[in-house]
Structure 1
Amino acid sequence: MATNFGKWRVGGGLGVSFGSNDYFGLSVYPNIGYMIAPRLEGGVTAGYQYSSWKNAKSNLFSFGPYMNFYPINELFLRGHYEYFTGNSKYKGQSGSYSYDEDALWLGGGYRSGGKVSFYAGAMYNVLYKENESIFSNGFRPIVGVSVGF
């Protein structure tokens, strides 16, 4: 498999979102991976997410390793540990609220073939705790582009 796609993969995702209460979100998630075995890729990701609402602004940073297993070229299973740290600032308040959270994402998805590939899938954070998490639920989509060399 490494001969078809290259041993190294560089890619990531970019997102823009809008919503109620004047919500605006921008996220950037680069990653770099290496084929350590014919069907096993290991790598690291970093991320940044900016969010603003009518009365608040938030910055969220993340970093962590991942492993992808490809049972066939187009399908992957993923394990991804990610550490999140960030802060929120609310209008009318002098300070900000800081937070940290660990996530262990398990999931999978589909990847198109070739040196330039598009991928999409879903993951679930097995460490997610309702009412204690910075996230509204434990699910996360995976969407992005990667280039092999």
Structure 2
Amino acid sequence: MKKLIIPLFVIMSGSVFSQVAIGTESQNNNRWTFGGGIGLGFGSNSAFYLQASPRVGYGLTDDLEAGVVGSVSWQTSDFYKSTMFGVGPFANYYFARSFYVGANLQQYFINYKDKYYDYKVNEQETALYLGGGYMQRIGGNSFMQLGVMYNVLWRENSSIFSSGLVPNIGFVVGL
């Protein structure tokens, strides 16, 4: 059951992450950042996946940003239905305008129903993602991010996720 749902979630949630940062110190001293990510997937057995992860941050310094990120995902197929919510703080440190490191603590609330066996599960799990990556300027104050995060709290036999590793690709505007 976990082997079907979780790989799809990890791949989709980590494969595309976009964020838009509006306003920095160079723009009217506004340090608030806003953004998020979205994921969409289709598969066999009428599988469908939709994920969104809004975020709001604040530039504590020119290179350090902290805020709150949320996530919600819906998955369904002929055999199962799942909803997952997550919320928690994040921090990103940007250096040399080419690299970043970050941390993200998420508390997940999972509601899973197996349609075939009429089996239901309501679980919670905490994840602490640590990682970083490379940023490439793509114009003005816009950057493309390529990175990897790892859930340091992940345990193979006790986690709802099939892996602790989450790759991400994203775009940042306003840094």
Alpha-carbon contact 1:56-1:91 (below 8 Å) kept: yes
SS in 2 for 1:57: strand
Length-normalised TM-score, structure 2: 0.75
Structure 2 residue aligned with 1:134: 160
Cα shift at 1:36? 0.1
SS in 1 for 2:78: coil
Identity of aligned residues (%): 36
Letter in 1 for 2:65: E
Alpha-carbon contact 1:67-1:80 (below 8 Å) kept: yes
RMSD of Structure 2 on Structure 1 (CA) = 2.4
Alpha-carbon contact 2:40-2:50 (below 8 Å) kept: yes
Q: How many pairs align?
A: 149
Alpha-carbon contact 1:13-1:145 (below 8 Å) kept: no
Confirm or deny that 1:120 pairs with 2:146: yes
Letter in 2 for 1:67: A
Q: Which structure carries more helix by proportion?
A: 2
Alpha-carbon contact 1:12-1:144 (below 8 Å) kept: no
SS in 1 for 2:156: coil
Letter in 1 for 2:75: S
Confirm or deny that 1:31 pairs with 2:55: yes
Confirm or deny that 1:16 pairs with 2:40: yes
Do the aligned partners of residues 121 and 7 (structure 1) sit closer, same or farther apart at CA in structure 2, a change above 3 Å counting?
A: same
Structure 2 residue aligned with 1:7: 31
Length-normalised TM-score, structure 1: 0.86
Q: Which structure carries more strand by proportion?
A: 1
Alpha-carbon contact 2:92-2:100 (below 8 Å) kept: yes
Moved more, 111-120 or 54-63: 111-120
